[in-house]
Amino acid sequence: MSLPAGEAPGWSGAARALLEAAVRRHGGWDAWRALRVVVVEPKRLSGLVPWIKGYGRTFRLPARAEIFPHDDKAVFFDYPEPGATGTFVRGALALMDARGEVVAATDARPSFHGLRKLRRWSAAEALYFFGYALTHYHALPFTLGRGLPLGVCRVGYEGRRLTGVEVELPPELHTHSPRQTFYFEEDGLLRRHDYVADIVGPWARGAHFWRDFVTVGGLEMATVRHVVARLGRRATPLVALHAELSLS
């Protein structure tokens, strides 16, 4: 089953055909509807953005995270320190100590404003960035129909062409930027994802390559996320972020 009746009402023509192929290739609507949680174990994090934002100094990686894509929710375990827990739910954050008592709770997005975008991230701010990123990524391509397609485009990838769709995402979604472009292989596999990481700055224009897919609950998910700086549609060699994950 690709798209049920009533899904993606603003999609038609080539954009809808692309989305339907992507839903089929990534496991189908029934498997997506049955998914409850994705367990993520970070294995490696590197690149310019984590370094300038304080990775290893002002924040660290969790031992594992549980991602609930249908609920826009992420739970980080042993974060920001052993025994503690951090939660992200639709933009709202909570940090709890080893006894389960809340030590900090906030809505982080308003704090990424003006010159404050230049500072290093606290543990809560890093939780916000990685929380919204992981919940959004692991809901794709199934939630794209909630947005509005703005046009179809193409780009080269390892000697072949990817077909992309630029999407205006719903304003209530916590993600990198309101407009993002998603590029797919001929069979519908999502390979590249372009956006501006607004909370980092208007210069943070990334081309995010999805690599090394595994099957989790019948769905295809990337375990390597490689983001490079982008000039227009051209990907540069500058690595903004590289993450390797174990998924189950």
Which residue, chain included where needed, has tokens 């906030």?
106
The ranges assigned to domains in the chain are 17-247
Which residue, chain included where needed, has tokens 């590197």?
46
pLDDT, mean over the chain? 94
Q: What is 17-247's CATH number? A: 2.50.20
Q: What is the pLDDT of residue 68?
A: 98
Q: What is the pLDDT of residue 58?
A: 96
Q: What is the pLDDT of residue 102?
A: 67
Residue numbers in the chain where pLDDT is lower than 70? 1, 101-106
Report the b/e string of 94-121 with b at 16+ CB within 10 A.
Answer: bbbeeeeeeeeebebeebbeeeebeeeb
pTM, to two decimals: 0.95
The span from the first CA to the last CA of the chain, in angstroms, equals: 23
Q: What is the pLDDT of residue 186?
A: 96
State the burial class of residue 54 (Cβ atoms within 10 Å of its Cβ: 0-12, 13-18, 19+). Answer: middle
